Structure 1
Amino acid sequence: MKKNHLLYIVLTSLATSFLIGCNDWTEPEAKTFPESIVSDEYYASLRAYKKTDHQIAFGWFGGWSGEGAFMKSSLAGVPDSVDVISIWDNGTNLTDAQRKDMHFCQTMKGTKILYCSIVTSVGAKLTPKNIEDNWKEMGYTSKQEAINTFWEYPADESDKQAVEASIRKYARAIVDTLNVYGYDGFDIDYEPIAGPYTGNIVKQYNNENFFFFIDELGKYLGPKSGTGKLLVIDGEPQRITDKPEIGTYFDYFIIQAYKPGSDANLDGRLIDGNVWGPALVSTFGDIMNEEEITRRTIMTENFEATDAAMNGGYAYTDRFGNKMNSLEGMARWQPQNGFRKGGVGSYHMEAEFGTSPEYKNIRRAIQIMNPSSHSLLKN
């Protein structure tokens, strides 16, 4: 109750200083605002709101170019009140337009922009191209041998010290890459079963190497680092049953709860299990308390299909028999354990740009989750 009371005080004080009436960042209607409203004061209030304790809005963004009159390809076109955007695909070799687009959203809107990648083996996506393309000319018997040599990954995996050293070297290279491009953190797409995306870091049933990887990242990213930069995991974090301490390194567990259909399905993923494996609570419950796990959990829907993006997902029924589409259902979902969830989001959030108004479904979800912010937010 104290936290909720403090949030109310913070939001009320922001509203007092805002002095621009009852406009709403989360309103489902698109409006044209006078230039004077989108002011330094407005953006300062927006950034302050994002630092409050609230259920966040998240999305994976694809097809990013950061330019052109068509704002579907621009992060700046995403509603101001979206908290975290994870770049899916083309997240490196950024153009000037992309850098400016990202910088604007970070510095003015306070939006966290993450780099998302599937991690399987040491060297993935970071090995120099000349190593991968010219391994024969360099005298190696295979591309993998060339990659392993570059990253000092041992031919004999029984050399545990050498394996660990190589994995940690690769993790530091990822951090360096994030810093070069100016990202606010790293989103690990972890799917050892559903993918399956596996290698010498990610295995289906042995997470020892994955622990070395996360432990090194945790020095620079995530809640243990003290840097304010995010470390999140999406996909199947509930599969990390043999190394539950890994869970404490992440700011958020982002669950691909595609076409969930009901509150029961979401409760199962979080609490009860039997939906794509064990529940998050049973996986990490010996290391983290249930409220902490719940507050780090974000449920997401798949908007890759045009009709799903336009409609806000798929058919969904809550525990009381009320019917709606799934993104709204996720936003309204109150976990059965009584604790507050971390938030909601969507895969290919940019596909919702074509709704009328733009991004109407995520706007509505934000308004449902954070009704106390209604008098503060513009879009």
Structure 2
Amino acid sequence: MRKNYLLYLLLLALSSPLWVGCNDWTEPEAKDYFQTPSEEYYAALRAYKKSEHSVTFGWFGNWTGEGASLVNSLAGIPDSVDIVSIWGNWSNLTEAQKKDLQFCQQVKGTRFNICFIITSVGTQITPQHIYDNWEEMGFSSQQAAVNDFWGWPSDESDEKAVEASIRKYASAIADTINKYGYDGFDIDYEPNFGNSGNIVDDDDRMFIFVDELGKYFGPKSGTGKLLVIDGEPQSITGRPEIGLYFDYFIIQAYKPGNDANLDKRLISGGVAGPGLVQTYGDVMTEEQITNMTIMTENFEAVDAAMDGGYSYTDRYGNSMKSLEGMARWQPSNGFRKGGVGTYHMEAEYPTNPEYKNLRKAIQIMNPSSNSLIKY
């Protein structure tokens, strides 16, 4: 076991970009090292991730934790990435995935969420045998069997039963996350993009769902685990107090084009509904909301990933690619943004150096200065 672990660290040191020191791991160029990083380096890296700064985030897909290349491994992600949401392949982990996850959590200090689209009670975690055997179980439909399993009432005017079902579902999600040892939950909330359901179509039900999750994750839980929401967090206009349950609002600001687009998503609205400040400004300060807001670009298209996104012009007329634009964007209200990120971050692994555009964004937001450790 010890021999395998040392081999794993050696491969990591030879294959992945290492940014060292309190700020040195944000250097834009990859480096190769012929010794394993020191514990002093990793301690400084973990301390950096606990400091106040604009974070780097990504949704990671196609995770296996295996292969000669680190393209499908969490260990291949740049050291200075703060938070990753696993998109698919987050359950029934192999031994390779478990080791990959634990190494990045414990040694690098990276935090990992599971993420899936929330629509209705039972989404993603209903046991498969319910879907497979509903007829044998005597139900009239697959959905009837699912509803029975979660206690969803046939009469939805029974508000107590509805609430009990929602809380049972949220609690089961928490149990699943804790079972696998993840650091939190990323709610993909997109009711206006074809993902309606008996939770997301009602702000009061959505609040019940988040309130239950808030016992286990997020700032109200006291656990230190993350509760974040992506997609359309600005659309929960009926229950603004829900914002107090989250660590971050993650905006899918795909192909934003310019600084004004990002300002509108954050402050004044008009791009995809109200701005976050409009939705949550009665219960949170504008500075709080801004510090929690992560803007993200879509790297699902490989050419966009390799090129750093799409055309973007800042408020001063400078042209660049959109991920760089998001990193350089200073909100018009003057407060520090939460950070930036990419969807299907792993698509950028083949750049030279690996994750070239994401590391450039990190360097822009958190420039290198005096390093504690040099390799």
Give the TM-score taking structure 1 as reference length.
0.91
**Which of 319, 323, 326 in structure 2 is aligned with 1:327?**
323
The equivalences for 1:208-247 within 5 A come to: 208-247=204-243
Paired position in structure 2 for 1:351: 347
CA RMSD after TM alignment: 1.6
Paired position in structure 2 for 1:191: 190
Helix, strand or coil at the partner of 1:371: coil
User: 1:31, CA displacement in angstroms?
Assistant: 1.2
The residue type paired with residue 46 of structure 2 is R
CA distance in 1, matches of 2:151, 2:90: 26
CA distance in 2, matches of 1:129, 1:241: 35
User: 1:28, CA displacement in angstroms?
Assistant: 2.1
User: 1:143, CA displacement in angstroms?
Assistant: 0.8
Helix, strand or coil at the partner of 1:72: coil
CA contact 1:25–1:80 (8 Å) conserved in 2: yes
CA contact 1:75–1:101 (8 Å) conserved in 2: yes
User: 1:374, CA displacement in angstroms?
Assistant: 6.4
The residue type paired with residue 337 of structure 1 is N
Report the CA distance shift for 1:22/1:112 in structure 2 as closer, same or farther (over 3 A): closer
CA distance in 2, matches of 1:244, 1:264: 24
Moved over 4 A (4+): 20-23, 376-379
Paired position in structure 2 for 1:362: 358
CA distance in 2, matches of 1:284, 1:378: 43
Paired position in structure 1 for 2:34: 34
CA distance in 2, matches of 1:46, 1:149: 48
CA distance in 2, matches of 1:39, 1:334: 35
CA contact 2:23–2:367 (8 Å) conserved in 1: no
**Which of 276, 287, 292 in structure 2 is aligned with 1:280?**
276
CA contact 1:25–1:377 (8 Å) conserved in 2: no
Q: Does 1:256 align with 2:252?
A: yes
The residue type paired with residue 250 of structure 1 is F
User: 1:34, CA displacement in angstroms?
Assistant: 3.4
CA distance in 2, matches of 1:302, 1:86: 14
Give the paired residue count.
Answer: 356
Helix, strand or coil at the partner of 1:99: helix
Give the TM-score taking structure 2 as reference length.
0.92
| Structure 1 unmatched ranges of 5 or more | 1-19
CA distance in 2, matches of 1:323, 1:74: 33
The residue type paired with residue 197 of structure 1 is N
CA contact 1:264–1:319 (8 Å) conserved in 2: yes
User: 1:263, CA displacement in angstroms?
Assistant: 0.3
Report the CA distance shift for 1:376/1:300 in structure 2 as closer, same or farther (over 3 A): farther
CA distance in 1, matches of 2:212, 2:23: 44
CA contact 2:207–2:242 (8 Å) conserved in 1: yes
CA contact 1:188–1:233 (8 Å) conserved in 2: yes
CA distance in 2, matches of 1:260, 1:211: 29
Report the CA distance shift for 1:377/1:111 in structure 2 as closer, same or farther (over 3 A): farther
Paired position in structure 1 for 2:120: 121
CA distance in 2, matches of 1:310, 1:322: 21
Q: Does 1:295 align with 2:294?
A: no
Q: 1:336-356: CA deviations, max 9, x gaps?
A: 001000000000000110111
Helix, strand or coil at the partner of 1:71: coil
CA contact 2:170–2:212 (8 Å) conserved in 1: yes
CA contact 1:301–1:345 (8 Å) conserved in 2: yes
Q: Does 1:57 align with 2:53?
A: no
Report the CA distance shift for 1:377/1:59 in structure 2 as closer, same or farther (over 3 A): farther
Paired position in structure 1 for 2:158: 159
